[in-house]
A and B are shown apart, each in its own frame.
Chain A
Amino acid sequence: MSSSAFTIEHQQLRRCDLFRIGGRIDSESAPTFEQELRGVLADDRYKFVLNLNKVDYTSSAALRVLINVARECRRFNRGDVRLAEVNDRVEKVLDLAGLKELFKLYASEAEAVGSF
């Protein structure tokens, strides 16, 4: 089974910005991941939903992006990064890094979007 390539799709919604992410987020793809999120931050939008349903692997590189972007979004209480459809493996990685307690996880994309 070969590695699946990183993909990211962005959709600007009324309540928030939705990113559907797939494949591997490792130190090769993490810069692209970060660039996509920061592109929206640069437009002064700070409410993000990340649908991780199709992410099959995350390393610490992905978590660093998550932490840095979430810090930016949460400044002045202007927004947040919320996670939807996180599979068991990714959830375990979040937990091992002590991050599960810091992010809201939603079972569905609709719930995550509706939470804003």
Chain B
Amino acid sequence: MNRNAAAPGVHELHFAAEAGALSAVNDFMTGCCRAFGVDTDASFAVGLAVDEATTNIIEHAYNGKPGSIDLRCWVEQSDLYIELRDRGKSFRPALVPPPTTSGPLRARRVGGLGLHFMRLMMDEIEFSRDESGNRLLMIKRGVAL
């Protein structure tokens, strides 16, 4: 796990795509939010979104196989930007059916909850792909000092 020497104001973490990295990712995001003056409620929301996004990369982009993830965090104006990059297979969010959030327990579909939480916790999420792999950009507006 590496914290890279990033451009000023940009926090970076490079880590193996495995579930064991999640607590370190959480610690990293807690530190970023503290550094950027993000309050505890917004920090919790951001932490949940990053956890869910990271889990999805591990389980779906890499399908449990070895890989690495680059996480970057910075502020523009008072908006918090979070970027995750991976080299796994491409992801099309439109193909993920939404979870069922009402109705009896026996009928509840549990897939898609992670993406559902990401959309609820962040103001914008954007998936893209280029020659270096997948890019996920998430923005939470007006939370940083």
Contact = CB atoms under 8 A, between A and B. Distances in A.
Interface of A: 1-3, 5, 24, 26-28, 57, 59-61, 63-64, 67-68, 70-71, 74, 89, 93, 96-99, 101-102
B19 A27 contact: yes
Contacts of B55: 26-27, 59-61
Contacts of A57: 26, 47-48
A97 B105 CA distance: 12
10 contacts: A27-B22, A27-B58, A59-B48, A59-B51, A59-B114, A64-B110, A67-B110, A71-B105, A74-B105, A96-B101
B58 A3 contact: no
B50 to A, nearest CB: 10
Interface of B: 19-20, 22-23, 26-27, 30, 44, 47-48, 51-52, 55, 58-59, 99-102, 104-106, 108, 110, 113-114, 116-117, 120
A102 B30 CA distance: 31
Given A59-B114, A60-B52, A3 B26 contact: yes
A93 B41 CA distance: 13
A97 B113 contact: yes
A15 B104 CA distance: 25
Contacts of A93: 48, 117
Contacts of B19: 26-28
B116 A3 contact: no
Given A2-B27, A59-B114, A97 B99 contact: yes
A98 B51 contact: no
Contacts of A89: 44
A93 B113 CA distance: 11
Minimum-distance CB pairs A-B, first 5: A98-B101, A60-B113, A28-B19, A3-B23, A27-B55
Contacts of A27: 19, 22, 51, 55, 58-59
